[in-house]
Structure 1
Amino acid sequence: METASASGLDPGLYIVAGPIGNLADLSPRAADILRRADVVAVEDTRVSARLLRHAGSDRPMVPYHDHSSDALRARLIERMAGESVALLSDAGTPLISDPGYKLVRDARVAGRQVTTLPGPSAAIAALTLSGLPTDRFLFMGFLPAKAKARGDTLAEIAGLRASLIFYESGPRLSDSLAAMAQGLGDRDAAVCREISKTFEETVTGTLSALSDRYADAPPKGEIVVIVGPPGQAPVASAEDADAALREALTRLSVSKAAGEVAKKLGLDRRTLYDRATELKE
């Protein structure tokens, strides 16, 4: 049976959400864990040292990031058997576009206790600032740098009726916004940067207008782009339905053709089945 570590904390992994800008956003509970954990696993010791000083913590740090070895992860898992290990990213909630999921996965496989301390997340904060629908949303992280991969990624999500959340850098921002306008349609969007910091800013507009705005003046700081859901799709016409059915009937039975077109165009399957039967004859 596991017993409390020397710090008084139960052994295991503690996922600690840190501030995304303003240090005052560190929760009292998170500060307490950072002061008491046996070790703090961090992305960058230089960045995290400032937060630990703010929390009044003198706990030892160990670097843990996307390029950490399996051996290091195994050592941390082993330590969790009798010690408390806090996981801290450079900013915000660990695992959200930051390293950590493998550590959580392996800790669970090993039967270690895993505790999360909720707190700031740039993705959610930007969504609340955007004024765009929040009932359904998808976090996409950073788009691929290469144009082909970026276009393929946008094509995969173009039909989703949800707000989309992207992280981006200043130098890439204008090109990424232009690619989104081309791949998703010229939707309403918001560019949020430096959230909770001195120069926090949210600019709204269409994707193309925002791309033009930042083309010659790339912004500085941490950037989140929120893209609104697509507009209401137009109802397919009878001609559209017939064309889709004729194509489907070259490959499929009447029943399967009707089912495929019903799903694709959002039309009644029974009506399409009857029409497909007429076309087949």
Structure 2
Amino acid sequence: MTTNLYLIGTPIGNLSDITQRAIDTLKNVHTIVAEDTRVTKKLLSHYNISKPIISFNSKNYKSKILTIQKLLEDQNVGLTTDAGTPGISDPGYELINSVENLDVNIIPIPGASALTSAISVSGFPINQFYFAGFVPRRESELKNLLESTSKLNVPIIMFESPNRIKKLLTLLVKYANQKNVLIMREMTKVYEERFYGSIKDASMHFQNPKGEITLILEPSGSSFKSLTENEIFELISKLKSDGIDTKSIAQELTKVTNLSKSESYKKVIDSKDI
């Protein structure tokens, strides 16, 4: 008997961000395998769905694979992650590999993704990118990651928790300060925040944030331009003559130089004396 294993994309925050196909699949499978049963139960309750749920996460997946394989002998099973699409930065791939040679169809049910949501609003060229997943905890590993990916000249995308983002940004100032960064926090939720600017500014901005974070480092090839003092003041003068206000000029300087927001603003103010 051929059965189906559905990888079901679920919301990354806002419970409305789910497809009708995903809802129908959750209703029709026999059992749901969830990274966090509490999160999935909340989603199922919201859509009045009642199904048996099995926990399957990074701590227990080895002990659960045989049970799920047994279910798949005569049942259709749905796999969900805490948020977004299963199989990305979670142990979903372990389950897929374990049933690869069984009489099981492996079927994606597309849905929300923190990865693609952050990419879409980054403003960076995203023909190619490097997805690092959750950031290495050791400083040496992060340094090696940045050194190896700098040669690729593509955006680097990372996931990070709110209690570790301050440390990460401190290390990025140390090892990748020539780059701008896009940070999305609490995506699709009430207090969603989009931050774009230098890593230095980001490290000052994110002191005690709440909510999961997706971070994108700009490509190496689009890093800050080296402008002389004269070129900076010429640019300021040109923007002023175009009727651009002080704040907007400072924002533009931050984008095209390695100056922080406060440094850029000071340059604009100082230019009045020249």
| RMSD of equivalent CA atoms | 1.7
- For residues 156 and 225 of structure 1, what CA distance do their matches in structure 2 show? 18
Shift of 1:79: 1.6
Q: Aligned partner of 1:224: which letter?
A: T
SS of alignment partner, residue 109 of structure 1: coil
2:115 — aligned with what?
A: 123
Shift of 1:184: 3.3
* Alignment partner of 1:209 out of 179, 195, 201: 201
Shift of 1:126: 0.7
1:103 — aligned with what?
A: 95
SS of alignment partner, residue 226 of structure 1: strand
* Alignment partner of 2:214 out of 221, 224, 227: 224
- For residues 63 and 181 of structure 2, what CA distance do their matches in structure 1 show? 43
**How far does the alpha carbon of each residue in 1:132-189 deviate from its partner, in whole angstroms, 9 at most, with x for none?**
2211111111212222222222222122111111111222213212322433342111
* Alignment partner of 2:127 out of 123, 130, 135: 135
Runs of 4+ deviating beyond 3 Å: none
Moved more, 119-128 or 141-150: 141-150
1:120-199 correspondence to structure 2 within 5 Å = 120-199=112-191
SS of alignment partner, residue 12 of structure 1: strand
Pair 1:69–1:221, CA change in 2 (3 A): closer
1:45 — aligned with what?
A: 37
Pair 1:232–1:206, CA change in 2 (3 A): closer
Find out whether 1:36 has 2:36 as its counterpart.
no
Find out whether 1:113 has 2:102 as its counterpart.
no
1:200-279 correspondence to structure 2 within 5 Å = 200-214=192-206, 217-231=207-221
**Normalized against structure 2, the TM-score is what?**
0.77
Structure 1 contact 12–81 (Cα < 8 Å) conserved? no
**How far does the alpha carbon of each residue in 1:243-269 deviate from its partner, in whole angstroms, 9 at most, with x for none?**
xxxxxxxxxxxxxxxxxxxxxxxxxxx
Structure 2 contact 61–91 (Cα < 8 Å) conserved? no
- For residues 28 and 114 of structure 2, what CA distance do their matches in structure 1 show? 26
- For residues 69 and 164 of structure 1, what CA distance do their matches in structure 2 show? 28
Shift of 1:56: 2.1
**How far does the alpha carbon of each residue in 1:50-99 deviate from its partner, in whole angstroms, 9 at most, with x for none?**
10112221111011111225342022122212100100111111111122
Gaps of 5+ in 2: 224-274
**How far does the alpha carbon of each residue in 1:11-65 deviate from its partner, in whole angstroms, 9 at most, with x for none?**
2200001000111111111011111111000112111101011222111101111
- For residues 106 and 140 of structure 2, what CA distance do their matches in structure 1 show? 39
Larger radius of gyration: 1
Gaps of 5+ in 1: 3-10, 234-281
Tell me how many residue pairs correspond in the alignment. Answer: 223
- For residues 165 and 113 of structure 2, what CA distance do their matches in structure 1 show? 20
Pair 1:116–1:208, CA change in 2 (3 A): same
- For residues 224 and 194 of structure 1, what CA distance do their matches in structure 2 show? 9
Structure 2 contact 124–155 (Cα < 8 Å) conserved? yes
Structure 2 contact 34–80 (Cα < 8 Å) conserved? yes
* Alignment partner of 1:73 out of 65, 80, 83: 65
